[in-house]
Amino acid sequence: MEELTSLKNPKVMLWRSLKDKKAREEQQAFLAEGVRMVRDALSAGLSPLAVLLREDFCPGFSLPDGIPVFTLPEHVFRSVCDTKSPQGIAAVLPLRVKPASGRMLLALDGVQDPGNVGTMIRTADAAGFDGVLLSRDCADLFSPKVLRATMGSLFHLGFSFPSSLESALLDLKSDGFSVLSSQLDGEPFFERKGVASSFVLVIGNEGNGVSLPVRKAASHRLCLPMKGSAESLNAAVAAGIMMYDLIRNA
């Protein structure tokens, strides 16, 4: 265990830079903050590049042998973390995830709010989905806000980042998947028919919805009923309703 006390220490400066996407991509690493995130990462078999502990903090669980552990005074630890009140532990993890696979998938088409992306990933995990596809214009999966909203579900699912979401969905469709596009001008969701046992639910951008090429690739275009005066639902709320109803009938 090594103690680092300076804000100008090269390791501290590197860890602090991981708040930015460019630095994460350059270093091929990201920072997971908090007891739950670190514990879930370890349970998923990930090997941290480093574990950071606030000098007065005890994590309450054992860290595997061979992982570099650093203790930091509070002001240094706070500078590294993105949260306003960090719990006292963080892990530097390699920037990789297992690829999306399975028969129940979620696809995010240009979803840009980090809270929505993280919440939908967490809901997909809770509902029993197998993986998530993210278009290149979605919020960054490894950003601090997305990570916090996933509540550790990042480590339970598979993820893919196709250069063309439309092409990826067409490939799934040719493999027998139903591709369900959620859109305001779609058919009633609860009256859907002909959905295969393997499917991918597509949720679109908060303002513009599912992109036109992806709509064209869909086998089903569906809309939740709006019986009240609201014109639409929050994307994460709509996704949660649809995911749970899909697994109920799977």
Q: Which domains are assigned to the chain?
A: 2-94 (3.30.1330.30), 104-248 (3.40.1280.10)
pLDDT surpasses 90 at 220: yes
Positions of E strands within the chain: 2-3, 29-33, 50-54, 69-72, 89-94, 104-109, 131-134, 158-160, 178-188, 199-204, 220-223
pLDDT of residue 231: 81
Give me the pLDDT at residue 64, please: 87
* CB-based contacts of 89, cutoff 8 Å, min separation 6: 33, 34, 35, 38, 51, 52, 53, 54, 57, 59
The dihedral sign for the CA sequence 144, 159, 34, 236 = positive
**Contact predicate 243/106, CB 8 Å:** yes
Quick: pLDDT tens for 139-148: 999 999 999 9
In Å, what is the CA distance from 137 to each residue of 34, 60, 73, 133, 162?
Answer: 27, 38, 37, 12, 11
3-state secondary structure of 166: helix
Q: What pLDDT is attached to residue 135?
A: 97
Question: Taking a C-beta distance cutoff of 8 angstroms, is the pair 198, 177 a contact?
Answer: yes
Query: Is pLDDT at 43 greater than 80 in this prediction?
Result: yes
- Whole-number Å distance between alpha carbons of 1 and 51: 10
Strand 50-54 versus strand 89-94 pairing type: antiparallel
If you average pLDDT over residues 32-58, what whole number do you get?
94
Report the SS3 class of residue 181: strand
Closest-CA residue to 103 (of 197, 241, 195): 197
Query: Can you give the pLDDT at residue 232?
Result: 83
Three-state DSSP at 205 gives strand
> Mean pLDDT score of the chain, rounded to an integer?
95
Strand, coil or helix: what is 4? coil
Tokens of 75: 């002001």
pLDDT of residue 105: 98
Work out the pLDDT band at 241, boundaries 50, 70, 90: very high
Going by the DSSP 8-state scheme, the letter that residue 64 receives in this structure is P
> What's the angle, vertex CA 183, arms to CA 179 and CA 184, rounded to 5?
155
**Percent of residues, the chain, with pLDDT higher than 90:** 89
Helix 235-248, helix 114-127: angle, nearest 10: 10
- Determine the 3-state secondary structure of 153 from DSSP: helix
Taking the model in full, what pTM does it have? Answer: 0.93
pLDDT of residue 62 exceeding 90: no
* Average pLDDT of the segment spanning 160-180: 97
Q: What is the pLDDT of residue 250?
A: 75
Residues 182-204, mean pLDDT to the nearest whole number = 96
Residue 230: its pLDDT value, please?
A: 85
Backbone angles phi, psi at 41, to 5 degrees: -65, -45
Identify the CA nearest to 141 among candidates 132, 209, 51: 132
Average pLDDT over residues 127-132: 97
